[in-house]
Structure 1
Amino acid sequence: MGPLDGLRVLDLSSVLMGPYASQILGDYGAEVIKVEAPAGDLVREIQPSRSAGMGAMFLNSNRSKQSIVLNLKTAEGRDAVLRMVADCDVVLSNVRPRKMDRLGLTWEALSAANPRIIYAALVGFDQQGPYAGRPAYDDLIQGGVCIPHLFERAGQQPAYVPAAICDRIVGMSAVNAILAAVIERGKSGQGQKVEVPMFETMLSMILADHLGGLTFMPPLDHGGYKRHLSPDRKPYETKDGYVCALIYNDGHWERFFRELGRPDMPAADPRYATFAARMEHIDEVYAELGTLMKTRTTAEWLDLFDRADVPALPMHSFESVLEDPHLREVGFFEEVDHPTEGRIRQMAVPTSFSRTPATPERLAPRQGADGAEVLSRMGFTADEITALAQSGALTLPDAQKTEGAE
């Protein structure tokens, strides 16, 4: 029974940002009902997969949920959703507001169905600005919040981070906002609409590091945190691979040089003497470290860093991280049997709770697998479920169609 046991979430989102947020809520114990269009969530088709509609990325973003297929473009589908809203705590959507309005699922309609509902709208941009109606995808937002520019400032070609970091980070931010609204509702008894924009959320994170001298009026520089933008801030090449280490504060440097047999450093070189001096000469410091690291093996450096109590890790690959001794000890990866996809590997919930452990009990569902069960639990009769299916508003797996007819 996770800490959010008793919270019911109606998830109208698709792709990554919204589903990642709802998976976290589900992992924490909330009951999450994923409403899919007849075509299904697009991410179901991202390969690799063992069977159609159950790709790896979908499996890793949609556990701890039940799936129901409703055609919200039909009056019957819309009415069914509003009836479900009346018995939910949170509605989550990353559909553009204009489309939600066309479906008749406005904030006004949702709050009329349930005055205590919390409507979390994950949007591309603040809805008060000229970008309000634009579509937003991770690549676009990365560009808009200066991430490719960071690569350029570091002496590289502009590039995207090769992961959907905007979708994931904004999804986590949405969880924070939803839970804040839940806490407030506990005091006021009233629901509210919460908008979480990708553009502004990501920009606030990036510029917390890199607004730099542009923080001041007039500006003191052109922005950017010098250490992050150093061209040699990267995994250090060793004799036989790479190692990731951060020799950061005065204690780190003193112990590092002592282990190297150079206790006279950093006092002997003013560039290393203080934190401010190292930041001023960070490009030289990182370049010299890069040359030094090539003189020993990865294992030798990791042993030295451990003795010096300097933060360091090997540079993992997708395969090697599966064998990381720490992750193995804490049970981060586990093998489970999916009811339709066979043996799969999944990741544990990173956060731990002392009294209410977050232990996912549901693996990612087949499309529409839980439709009849969900509706029945929310007060729909067998005849009503059959009528929804016959109208085309509800799509049920063949087994559920038979059960509904009975």
Structure 2
Amino acid sequence: MAPNPYSPHSMVHTALPPLPGSPAPGALSNLRILDIGTMVAGPVACTFLADFGAEVIKVEQPSGGDTLRGLGPFKNGESLWWCLEGRNKKSVTIDLRQKEGQDLLLSLVAKADAIVENFRPGTLESWNLGYDRLAEVNPRLVMLSVSGFGQSGPYAKRAGYDRMGLAFSGVMGITGYPDRPPVRLGISVADYSTATMGAFAVMMALYHRDRGGPGQHIDLSLYETMFRYTDSMVGSYSALGKRRARTGNVHQAAAPGDNFETRDGRFIVLTVSGDTLFRKLCAAIGQSALADEPRFATHSSRFENIEELNATVAQWMRSRDTADIREILDGAGVAYSVIYTVEDIVEDPHYNARENIIGVEHPVAGMVQMPGVVPKMSGTPAAQPAAAPTLGAHNDEILKGLLGLGDAEVDRLREAKVI
């Protein structure tokens, strides 16, 4: 039997040396991840891993690259969204539609721990790059496939994006006010939630592998992530026949609870569930007697009277400026938050103290402000992120340094538009 030209030398996991110029070592510095996806859910799972030291090699189409590069807002012609989600990655351009490009990817797969993709199901198989083929090259490979509706089932072939995940999961149907159409959240919450779960799934699979198990294929969809977050929605319907509806800012776990407007035109979020917290709130707003009324004795009874409670709190909020309300609620130990604008965020001392906003110098865009790395780890803190790469910035480094191709071969591949 002919030797497999892509086969790893050993089935025992050892740390893979990072390429020159990789970010400082972190908790995941022994991992090499291939990111062959586009946009958010798949690639951002890789960003989360890269933030903690994983060497992420982003494989992009030679013409244009990741779709995210073309989405604004822009600074000096560079997408600020890409500057965030491309950080800590290395970019190599390979046309996966060409046979030679597919061979290059297989060579990279042989040297990788995991690969992440979010093509429509069946696309990689049409290029002879499905999981079964990749596992032949590297049996220890972990593959994460992110899609709108999953790799199986009657809707698997459907295209799916963030809003489809919100709609099909039922989340959008219960978001908004009852007398208005459903609304989406202000961020791509299905994409980012799936990216988070995807990174978690990759680490579970790698942990299983490094305890002696084989690699495996992870099938994760946008709608399933969001459906998992719907808490007791299905249970309430199945057991009690209760159908959750849009209720605006009122929620069954908060009484009182709403977004209350202050005298100076700001909004404060308040959500009260426990009896002790309710007593603290009543005292803070000068309504201590409310806590002793039988109809407000439990959370269930308070929710039955939610409109009256919210009206009482709203009247108190409207009579005071935000600064005064914050001082009173802080003194009473009542949980709340002012609804922040981006101006509030960039000026807030807590964000500054926690280093939630960092600056990364980009070779084209210049200094770019972006969210810092979370979570914060005491033993293996994340390093200062490296700037998102320009398209194909690491072609020579990866093709010559990692795969060992010669100058003439790289030039030929470039001439043939394979890279």
Normalising by structure 2, what TM-score?
A: 0.88
Paired with 2:228 and 2:411, the residues of 1 have a C-alpha distance of 48
- Residue 157 to residue 286, structure 1, CA distance change in 2 (3 Å): farther
Identity value in percent: 28
Residue 21 (str. 1) matches residue 42 (str. 2): no
Residue 109 (str. 1) matches residue 129 (str. 2): no
Residue 391 (str. 1) matches residue 391 (str. 2): no
Q: Is the 8 A contact 1:35 1:67 kept in 2?
A: yes
Paired with 1:339 and 1:6, the residues of 2 have a C-alpha distance of 27
Cα distance, 1:233 vs structure 2: 5.0
> Which of 340, 346, 352 is the aligned partner of 1:322?
346
Q: Is the 8 A contact 2:80 2:368 kept in 1?
A: no
> Which of 347, 365, 369 is the aligned partner of 2:389?
365
Residue 183 (str. 1) matches residue 207 (str. 2): yes
Partner of 2:5: none
Q: Is the 8 A contact 1:232 1:287 kept in 2?
A: no
Residue 73 (str. 1) matches residue 73 (str. 2): no
Paired with 2:202 and 2:57, the residues of 1 have a C-alpha distance of 16
* Matched residues, number: 389
Partner of 1:404: none
Partner of 1:222: 243
Instruction: Kindly report which structure 2 residues correspond to 1:135-174, keeping only aligned pairs within 5 A, or say none.
Output: 135-151=159-175, 154-174=178-198
Paired with 1:114 and 1:325, the residues of 2 have a C-alpha distance of 49
- Amino acid corresponding to residue 186 of structure 1 in structure 2: D
- Amino acid corresponding to residue 229 of structure 2 in structure 1: M
Residue 58 (str. 1) matches residue 82 (str. 2): yes
Q: Is the 8 A contact 2:60 2:91 kept in 1?
A: yes
RMSD of aligned C-alpha atoms? 2.1
**1:10-58: CA deviations, max 9, x gaps?**
0001011112111000001100000111221111111221233x21111
Partner of 2:150: 126
Q: Is the 8 A contact 1:209 1:224 kept in 2?
A: no
Paired with 1:153 and 1:319, the residues of 2 have a C-alpha distance of 27
**1:342-396: CA deviations, max 9, x gaps?**
11112211211111111243211111111111222323222332232222111xx
Q: Is the 8 A contact 1:235 1:245 kept in 2?
A: yes
Paired with 2:405 and 2:327, the residues of 1 have a C-alpha distance of 65
Instruction: Kindly report which structure 2 residues correspond to 1:340-379, keeping only aligned pairs within 5 A, or say none.
Output: 340-379=364-403
Q: Is the 8 A contact 2:255 2:306 kept in 1?
A: no
Cα distance, 1:189 vs structure 2: 4.1
- Residue 60 to residue 223, structure 1, CA distance change in 2 (3 Å): same
Partner of 1:46: 71
SS at match of 2:175: helix
Q: Is the 8 A contact 1:63 1:360 kept in 2?
A: no
SS at match of 2:300: helix
Q: Is the 8 A contact 1:211 1:224 kept in 2?
A: no
- Residue 28 to residue 154, structure 1, CA distance change in 2 (3 Å): farther
Partner of 1:261: 286
1 or 2, which has the higher helix percentage? 1
Cα distance, 1:246 vs structure 2: 2.2
Paired with 1:152 and 1:310, the residues of 2 have a C-alpha distance of 26
Partner of 2:277: 252
**1:96-131: CA deviations, max 9, x gaps?**
121111111111110011111001111211333100
SS at match of 1:168: helix
Q: Is the 8 A contact 1:331 1:348 kept in 2?
A: yes
- Amino acid corresponding to residue 113 of structure 2 in structure 1: D
Moved more, 339-348 or 382-391: 382-391
Q: Is the 8 A contact 2:256 2:272 kept in 1?
A: no
- Amino acid corresponding to residue 213 of structure 1 in structure 2: S
Paired with 1:288 and 1:45, the residues of 2 have a C-alpha distance of 49
Structure 2: 5+ residue stretches without partners: 1-24
Q: Is the 8 A contact 1:246 1:310 kept in 2?
A: no
- Residue 105 to residue 365, structure 1, CA distance change in 2 (3 Å): same
Partner of 1:398: none
Cα distance, 1:154 vs structure 2: 4.2
- Amino acid corresponding to residue 45 of structure 1 in structure 2: G
Structure 1: 5+ residue stretches without partners: 395-406
Q: Is the 8 A contact 1:107 1:193 kept in 2?
A: yes
**1:159-203: CA deviations, max 9, x gaps?**
122211100001101011100000000122411111111112211
SS at match of 2:202: helix
Paired with 1:263 and 1:50, the residues of 2 have a C-alpha distance of 54
- Amino acid corresponding to residue 84 of structure 1 in structure 2: L
**1:68-91: CA deviations, max 9, x gaps?**
111111111100000000000001
- Residue 260 to residue 160, structure 1, CA distance change in 2 (3 Å): closer
- Amino acid corresponding to residue 127 of structure 2 in structure 1: L
Q: Is the 8 A contact 2:233 2:243 kept in 1?
A: no
Normalising by structure 1, what TM-score?
A: 0.90
> Which of 210, 229, 233 is the aligned partner of 1:210?
233
SS at match of 1:345: strand
SS at match of 2:360: strand
**1:296-326: CA deviations, max 9, x gaps?**
1111111111011111121111121111111
